[in-house]
């Protein structure tokens, strides 16, 4: 039944796409987003809609979630290979009609539900929650996010990253981020821009701007081709990768009419901030190692700036069996006694690790997370045995694995398997390790820590991390645990580096 339903709704969607003229279709999608993000006046130029449609209330029946806009665009690119026979006979989809919007998203939802029914029998329901979280959480946080902009610039603007980016793409990191932000700002008000942009007023050469636009845009035929290739390589239904993450702008230039579209402006901003990772990660070990070091420094600086009352130490060097070794990345101390041992891991999750059900048991990069636990437990063992004696260890001290991506968020069994694998490794390599060395360990990603830092005080921070370091709370967001522990908490501090963004994005104060 599900397969029949899927085919039925897919055909209905395909029939609509077959008569959808590309320019009108992209304007319609832009107008949907604009109407629900505070720009209904401009949206009304391209789309008719009832007053109830102008809402940002995610519980409203009229609200269309942004990830569904991204889904429908990717489906359009994969499905619509030009106007069909009906369109050539004069039948063209009316993309200014609200009825068209409701039909498209109705069929999309029905098709995705039917498709899920085909696969869910092979996917644990809790694993499905993991996939949902990877798809939706970043949209819920938003891409115009000071923490995300600052962190991305801090991580990817080290000398090795800058050298590789500039040598590879022929433009500077600063110009890339500035023009990207400028384009995002423009596309908030208008879905269209001409490729000939006079950027000399902001001290960016026009040639550089053209190169930058070529990095984040492509002709629609190329986008269709790349979207189809992605779907073939990573076919996970509604969780398939989005071509718009690499190419958020669509070039529909015709002879004598240069024109570029950005139907979802937020993805332009994503592309020139968080998305820069994929421009530079091919730069080899020097680039990857630098990102790792920058991530460690960022985490240390974040804790120092956002949470007073502790002493924070970088990794300390000591000898083990005549070899120089380092402790985990950050030691959080109170009265010269270690309370928290933090190991930072900047490994990103690939598409398969986020959405492929067969990867949930052993996602790519899993060994790095297991290694983090081994490093923390080994350090506790060395401290107990007096091998590392620079600081005493508090009897309540625990570990924290701090990641760039949400490796354990919403997962239901990865925690236990990580611990089991770490135990297996140490049983072979550290026969002198005792149960007391296997301290409890919490896991969180950097987005979650940034949010917690803005709400917690010293005491509630410790309580939250301690609670997270348990099988029962593994995979929970730290902010959710904190809210449960401190339901009456009213603290809502600013992100610690909100006033320092110009330090990493020099053009920030100019705009």
Cα 257 vs. chain centroid, distance in angstroms? Answer: 35
Higher pLDDT, 491 or 462: 462
- Residue 161 included in any domain: yes
Confidence of residue 85 (pLDDT cuts 50, 70, 90): low
pLDDT (tens digit, 9 = 90+) per residue, 363-379?
888 899 999 999 999 99
Average pLDDT over residues 479-499: 93
Residues 290, 265 share a domain = no
* DSSP secondary structure letter of residue 257: B
Segments forming the whole domain that contains residue 70: 2-122
Residues 98, 182 share a domain = no
Higher pLDDT, 169 or 2: 169
Higher pLDDT, 260 or 414: 260
Domain boundary among 257, 280, 303: 280
Distance CA 242, CA 74 (A): 6
Whole-number pLDDT of residue 211? 92
pLDDT (tens digit, 9 = 90+) per residue, 300-322?
999 999 999 999 999 999 988 88
Residues 188, 259 share a domain = yes
Helices (H) and strands (E) in the chain, counts: 22, 11
Residues 115, 61 share a domain = yes
- Residue 206 included in any domain: yes
Higher pLDDT, 281 or 89: 281
Higher pLDDT, 471 or 340: 340
- Residue 134 included in any domain: no
Q: What are phi and psi of 399, to 5 degrees?
A: -110, 160
Residues 88, 31 share a domain = yes
Chain mean pLDDT for the chain: 91
pLDDT > 70? residue 118: no
Compute, in degrees rounded to 10, the torsion defined by CA atoms 253, 258, 264, 270: 100
Distance CA 263, CA 241 (A): 17
Residues 197, 151 share a domain = yes
Q: Report the percentage of the chain scoring pLDDT > 90.
A: 69
Distance CA 511, CA 509 (A): 5
Domain boundary among 122, 156, 183: 122
Whole-number pLDDT of residue 130? 82
Residues 377, 237 share a domain = no
- Residue 130 included in any domain: no
Residues 98, 153 share a domain = no
Token digits for 411?
A: 């997962």
Confidence of residue 398 (pLDDT cuts 50, 70, 90): very high
Is residue 177 within 8 A of residue 152, CB to CB? The reply is no
Is residue 164 within 8 A of residue 280, CB to CB? The reply is yes
Residues 314, 263 share a domain = no
Residues 492, 378 share a domain = yes
- Residue 54 included in any domain: yes
Whole-number pLDDT of residue 142? 86
pLDDT > 60? residue 346: yes
pLDDT (tens digit, 9 = 90+) per residue, 121-147?
666 767 778 888 889 989 998 888 899
Higher pLDDT, 25 or 356: 25
Helix (H) or strand (E) holding 177: helix 173-189
Residues 64, 94 share a domain = yes
pLDDT > 70? residue 113: yes
CATH code of the domain in which 406 resides: 3.40.91
- How many domains does the chain fold into? 3
- Residue 137 included in any domain: no
pLDDT > 60? residue 226: yes
- Residue 508 included in any domain: no
Ranges of H-type helices in 19-97: 22-35, 40-46, 66-79, 85-88
Q: 246, 203, 184, 261: which is closest to 24 by C-alpha?
A: 261
Average pLDDT over residues 80-87: 60
Whole-number pLDDT of residue 440? 96
Whole-number pLDDT of residue 201? 76
Domain boundary among 238, 254, 280: 280
Residues 426, 298 share a domain = yes
- Residue 511 included in any domain: no
């Amino acid at each position: 039944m599900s397969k029949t339903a899927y085919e039925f709704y897919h055909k209905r969607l395909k029939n609509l796409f077959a008569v959808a003229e590309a320019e009108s279709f992209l304007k319609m999608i832009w107008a949907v987003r604009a109407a629900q993000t505070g720009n209904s006046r401009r949206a009304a130029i391209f789309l008719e809609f009832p007053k109830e449609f102008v809402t940002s209330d995610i519980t409203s029946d009229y609200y269309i979630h942004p990830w569904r806009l991204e889904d429908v665009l990717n489906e359009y690119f994969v499905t619509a290979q030009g106007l069909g026979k009906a369109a050539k006979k004069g039948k063209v989809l009316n993309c200014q009609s609200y009825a068209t919007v409701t039909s498209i998203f109705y069929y999309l939802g029905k098709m995705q539900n039917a498709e899920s029914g085909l696969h869910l029998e092979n996917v644990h329901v809790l694993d499905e929650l993991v996939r949902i979280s990877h798809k939706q959480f970043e949209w819920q946080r938003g891409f115009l996010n000071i923490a995300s902009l600052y962190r991305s610039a801090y991580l990817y603007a080290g000398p090795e990253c800058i050298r590789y980016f500039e040598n590879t793409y022929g433009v500077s990191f600063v110009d890339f981020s500035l023009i990207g932000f400028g384009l995002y700002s423009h596309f908030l008000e208008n879905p269209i821009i001409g490729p000939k942009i006079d950027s000399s007023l902001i001290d960016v050469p026009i040639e550089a701007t053209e190169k930058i636009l070529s990095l984040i845009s492509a002709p629609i035929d190329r986008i269709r081709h790349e979207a189809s290739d992605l779907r073939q390589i990573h076919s996970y239904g509604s969780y398939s990768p989005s071509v718009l993450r690499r190419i958020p702008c669509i070039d529909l230039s015709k002879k004598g009419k240069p024109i570029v579209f950005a139907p979802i402006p937020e993805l332009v901003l994503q592309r020139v901030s968080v998305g820069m990772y994929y421009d530079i990660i091919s730069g080899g070990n020097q680039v990857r190692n630098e990102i790792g070091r920058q991530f460690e420094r960022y985490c240390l600086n974040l804790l120092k700036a956002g949470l007073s009352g502790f002493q924070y130490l970088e990794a300390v060097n000591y000898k083990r069996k005549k070899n120089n070794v380092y402790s985990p990345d950050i030691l959080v101390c109170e009265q010269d006694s270690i309370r928290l041992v933090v190991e930072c891991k900047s490994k990103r999750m690939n598409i398969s690790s986020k959405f492929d059900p067969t990867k949930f048991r052993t996602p790519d990069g899993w060994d790095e997370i297991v290694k983090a636990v081994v490093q923390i437990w080994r350090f506790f063992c060395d401290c107990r045995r007096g091998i590392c004696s620079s600081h005493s260890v508090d009897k309540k001290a625990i570990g924290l694995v701090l990641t760039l991506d949400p490796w354990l968020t919403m997962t239901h069994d990865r925690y236990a398997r990580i611990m089991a694998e770490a135990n297996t490794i140490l049983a072979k390599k550290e026969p002198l390790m005792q149960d007391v060395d296997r301290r409890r360990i919490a896991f969180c990603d950097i987005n979650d820590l940034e949010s917690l830092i803005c709400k917690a005080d010293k005491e509630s921070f410790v309580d939250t991390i301690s609670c997270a370091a348990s099988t029962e709370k593994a995979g929970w967001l730290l902010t959710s645990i904190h809210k449960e522990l401190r339901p009456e908490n009213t603290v809502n501090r600013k992100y610690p580096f909100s006033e320092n963004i110009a330090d990493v994005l020099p053009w920030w104060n100019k705009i």
